[in-house]
Structure 1
Amino acid sequence: MDDSSSFVAVRHHLSRSIESRHSTSVDIVTGSATWIGRSLSCVCAQRSESDDRVAIDLTPLQEERLQRLKRRIEVSFDGTRADHQEALKALWHAAFPGRELHGLVSEQWKEMGWQGRDPSTDFRGGGFISLENLLFFAKTFPKSFQRLLQKQEGNRATWEYPFAVAGVNITFMLIQILDLRSGICTNFVEKPRTLMGAIFLKMLAEDEWAFDLLYCITFVMMDAQWLAMHASYMEFNAVMKATRSQLERELNMDDVLRLEDMPSYSFLSQ
């Protein structure tokens, strides 16, 4: 049996195992930190107490890459760090080429979809990796990044979702779905124990930047859901819930062996 057939067989086994014991879906619920105005909150994936676990073995490559990813996740955004400041400036220049930024605290940031004049306050739930994700999106798929940032396509609502804050929500949601919010120590890394986490580890073995790429796919998937649902500002949570369901369906398709095989990958353009 080749690697692809083996992966499909393992996925079928894990899916049947979970479905036989756990028939209720896991909802996206609101968290405590208000990120999107006063009415909407951080959209978080919350696992119920009855959620089943999947036992998987890691290859040395998977363990190494998973440990690096978890370390990235643990880094909080720190506005006093020079490298974090430079990353924030780089995001501005990627979003608005040729436009001068008047400061790390400025009314200009609202144009990108941050809540206020200081974007550092919006990184609470996503950490520094959420800024890295936005930068990866901007540099890897600049056309898609600009299309979503500028809301260039579709019949848009009067009250649109704030682009940057939505991006932080997506990072946080992916961390929860893939069961990545667990600690690491010097000689041991706690591995994901859910079906989505197990599937993602296969992708991580194929591509060290799998998390960042999945972020880009999820962002364009979310925007497509937003348009399909004719959503407006107050329906952001419902859109994120629908996005999560679609993401899980696509990751669990038999013919999706790489992230590039996901149907929503076709929404991305460089």
Structure 2
Amino acid sequence: MLTLFLKLAFANASSLDAIVWGFLQKMFGYIWTYLYTSVLRYWLKWFIRQATGKCELQRICSGYKAGATRTTKAEYSLRSSKNRVLRGALETNKDHLEHCVDQITKVKNVKPQKDPLFKESLHTCLLQITGNSSLYISVEDLRKEVFNPENQEHEAMLLKLWDLLMPAVKLDARITKQWGDIGFQGDDPKTDFRGMGMLGLINLVFFSENYTEEARQVLSHANHPKLGYSYAIVGINLTEMAYSLLKSGALKPHFYNTVPDTPELRHFHQLYCYLAYEFDKFWVAEEPESIMLFNQYREKFHTIVKTQLQDPDVSLTMTVCSNN
């Protein structure tokens, strides 16, 4: 009613009035959010519990199938709770989740005999929620790990990437212009990993190893005389995209729908494979006039992915046959 009144009052507003109207809208939004979270939500939950005999977490766990909708709602419920035990569940490690579920069951006075599936459902939600946080830490560690040419494992992985993509061609030397054939900028790829560290290289190798045929197909498109792009550099750029989506929390619906328990590094690498494969299809279909327009098309693709991630049923998985 207040919003409708303000709209009518400012129906013929000047530009200054419009600014005031915008300010009032924001203030009203802040006030409503504060009232709802601090007062109204508590009493609404209390009223519904009295009517149904179930707490909010019970209603979520029994009212939704496993996946993003259920886990997202459970996460919001726990985060919004004023109870320390419920909020603390979001930071519990995997080994203590069962005890945490028992504590929540006791605090919320849930009777297992009346709701036998509650503990199992809540445990699954917590595996996904806390697992997502652990996954970010693991990904961040790889991103911070600098590629070191003196590290034999790093060097072996780089050479493996070449062998997977160019099996019929041998490198003339470790430092050579041949690296440009798979999309690196200079004679020594180590300089291209500065932004994403080992994460960028591991993603490239994972795609090439698990989807070898598709990776070589993408490389052939990247080497097209008119529509080509730098395969490795774009791959590292897409790693940055995947990383930023994970960091912002945008990937939660995808992982909650595709991983039934704890998301791990391999699930992140699989997500990268999806981005690499789909970006190539997007680039070829768009037929950009020049590689100089890469940033423009990259942002367009980024927007498409973010829009997909807003669907509660999203699942960004490759539909091709894997080698393994």
For Structure 1 versus Structure 2, the TM-score category normalised by the shorter chain is 0.5 to 0.7
Offset of residue 266 of structure 1: 2.5
Q: Is contact 2:221-2:280 (8 Å) kept? A: no
> 3-state SS of the aligned residue for 1:217?
helix
Partner of 2:160: 90
- The reply to whether residue 242 of structure 1 matches residue 296 of structure 2 is no
Offset of residue 4 of structure 1: 3.8
Partner of 1:57: 90
* Structure 2 portions without partners, runs of 5+: 1-61, 77-88, 95-126
> 3-state SS of the aligned residue for 1:196?
coil
Per-residue CA deviations over 1:93-140 (Å, capped at 9, x if unaligned) read 001113212222111111111111111111111211110000000011
Q: Is contact 2:253-2:312 (8 Å) kept? A: no
Per-residue CA deviations over 1:140-196 (Å, capped at 9, x if unaligned) read 11111011101189xx662521111100111112212221xxxxxxxxxxxxxx440
Q: Is contact 2:142-2:199 (8 Å) kept? A: yes
Offset of residue 213 of structure 1: 0.6
Offset of residue 58 of structure 1: 5.4
Q: Aligned partners of 1:152 and 1:159: how far apart in 2? A: 7
Offset of residue 197 of structure 1: 4.4
Q: Whose relative contact order is higher, 1 or 2, with alpha carbons under 8 Å and at least 6 apart?
A: 1
- The reply to whether residue 266 of structure 1 matches residue 324 of structure 2 is no
Q: Aligned partners of 1:65 and 1:152: how far apart in 2? A: 30
Distance 1:149 1:198, change over 3 A: same
Q: Aligned partners of 2:192 and 2:241: how far apart in 1? A: 15
Distance 1:97 1:157, change over 3 A: closer
Partner of 1:102: 172
Q: Whose Rg is larger? A: 2
Equivalent AA in structure 2 for residue 112 of structure 1: I
Larger helix fraction of residues? 2
Q: Aligned partners of 1:157 and 1:228: how far apart in 2? A: 16
Q: Please point out which of 204, 213, 219 is paired with 2:276.
A: 219
Partner of 2:116: none
Q: Aligned partners of 1:104 and 1:91: how far apart in 2? A: 13
**TM-score (normalised: structure 2):** 0.57
* TM-align CA RMSD: 3.1
Q: Is contact 2:222-2:229 (8 Å) kept? A: no
Q: Aligned partners of 1:7 and 1:77: how far apart in 2? A: 35
Offset of residue 226 of structure 1: 1.0
Partner of 2:243: 175
Count of aligned pairs between the two proteins: 210
Distance 1:68 1:103, change over 3 A: same
Q: Aligned partners of 1:195 and 1:253: how far apart in 2? A: 14
Distance 1:235 1:89, change over 3 A: same
Q: Is contact 1:220-1:268 (8 Å) kept? A: no
> 3-state SS of the aligned residue for 1:178?
helix
Offset of residue 5 of structure 1: 4.7
> 3-state SS of the aligned residue for 1:151?
helix
Offset of residue 80 of structure 1: 2.0
Offset of residue 76 of structure 1: 1.4
* Structure 1 portions without partners, runs of 5+: 16-55, 180-193
**TM-score (normalised: structure 1):** 0.67
> 3-state SS of the aligned residue for 1:99?
coil
Q: Is contact 1:137-1:145 (8 Å) kept? A: yes
> 3-state SS of the aligned residue for 2:303?
helix
Question: Quick check: 233-242 or 244-253, which moved more?
Answer: 244-253
Distance 1:114 1:97, change over 3 A: same
